[in-house]
């Protein structure tokens, strides 16, 4: 579980459906694209890794399975960027 004070991410808007996201403490940044409704692409900035899915959660899972473990803060992106989640 992430402590309450650390449950933040920094989101830089690059354009419509495009963001660079990072934890305020540093570490790996993500480049997030909403290519079309139901089509998300995420990649680690500066690395040759990517994940694609029908929603942000699946894209992050694909990225994680391709490159190993994912930081806890990646889960925060789903609520912050993917408004299609029923609980968002």
**C-alpha span between 64 and 69 (Å, rounded):** 6
> Average of pLDDT values for 58-70?
84
Average pLDDT rounded to a whole number, residues 13-34: 90
Residue pLDDT, tens place only, 52-62: 999 999 999 99
Model's pTM, two decimal places?
A: 0.80
> Are 21 and 29 spatial neighbours (Cβ–Cβ below 8 Å)?
yes
In the block, residue with structure tokens 């354009």: 15
Question: How high is the pLDDT of residue 1?
Answer: 39
What pLDDT, in 10s, does the model give residues 26-56? 778 999 999 999 999 999 988 888 999 999 9
Domain ranges in the chain?
4-81
As a whole number of angstroms, the distance between CA 81 and CA 32 comes to 9
Instruction: Please count the CA atoms within 13 angstroms of the CA of 75 that sit on its side-chain side.
Output: 7
Average pLDDT over residues 11-19: 93
């Amino acid at each position: 579980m992430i402590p309450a004070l650390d449950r933040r991410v920094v989101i830089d808007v690059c354009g419509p459906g495009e963001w660079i996201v990072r934890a305020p403490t540093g570490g790996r940044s993500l480049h997030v694209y909403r290519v079309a409704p139901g089509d998300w692409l995420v990649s680690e900035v500066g690395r040759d890794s990517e994940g694609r899915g029908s929603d942000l959660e699946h894209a992050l899972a694909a990225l994680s399975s391709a490159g190993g473990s994912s930081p806890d803060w990646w889960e925060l992106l789903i609520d912050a960027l993917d408004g299609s989640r029923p609980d968002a």
